[in-house]
Amino acid sequence: MKYSIGDRVVHSREGLSTITNITNIGDNDYFVVVADKGAKENIYVMMSRTENIIRPIMSYEESCEVVKYMKTVEAEFINNTKQRRDKYRKKLLSGNVYDLAYLSRQLYFFNFYNANGQVVKLGPTDLQMLKDAESILFDEFALSFKVDREKVEDKIKELFEKN
pLDDT score recorded for residue 43 = 94
Residues 107 and 67 in one domain: yes
Question: Cα-atom radius of gyration of the chain, to the nearest Å?
Answer: 17
pLDDT at 130: 87
Please state, in angstroms and rounded to a whole number, the distance separating the CA atoms of residues 130 and 133: 5
**Which parts of the chain sit beneath pLDDT 70?**
1, 110-115, 120, 163
Phi and psi based region of residue 41 (left: phi greater than 0; alpha: psi -120 to 50; beta: remaining)? beta
Q: Looking at 25, 41, 56, which one is the last position of a domain?
A: 56
Q: Is residue 1 part of a domain?
A: no
Given its phi and psi angles, is residue 65 left (phi above 0), alpha (psi -120 to 50 degrees) or beta?
A: alpha
Count the domains in the chain. Answer: 2
Q: What's the confidence (pLDDT) of residue 112? A: 55
- Answer yes or no: do 25 and 46 share one domain: yes
**pLDDT for residue 90:** 93
Residue 101: which of 154, 140, 128 has the closest Cα? 140
- Expressed as residue numbers, the domain containing 49 is 8-56
CATH of the domain at 156: 1.20.58.1290
Q: Is 123 helix (H, G, I), strand (E, B) or coil?
A: coil
Q: Are residues 20 and 79 in the same domain?
A: no
85 belongs to a structural domain: yes
Pair 48, 67 in one domain: no
Q: Looking at the domain assignment, is residue 3 inside a domain?
A: no
What's the first-to-final CA gap in the chain, in angstroms? 32
CATH number, residue 22: 2.40.10
What is the model's pLDDT at position 127?
A: 85
Residue 143 belongs to some domain of the structure = yes
Q: Are residues 41 and 121 in the same domain?
A: no
Same-domain status, 81 and 156 = yes
Same-domain pairing of 49 and 89: no
Q: Assess whether 17 and 91 both reside in one domain.
A: no
**Final residue before a domain boundary, out of 41, 56, 71:** 56
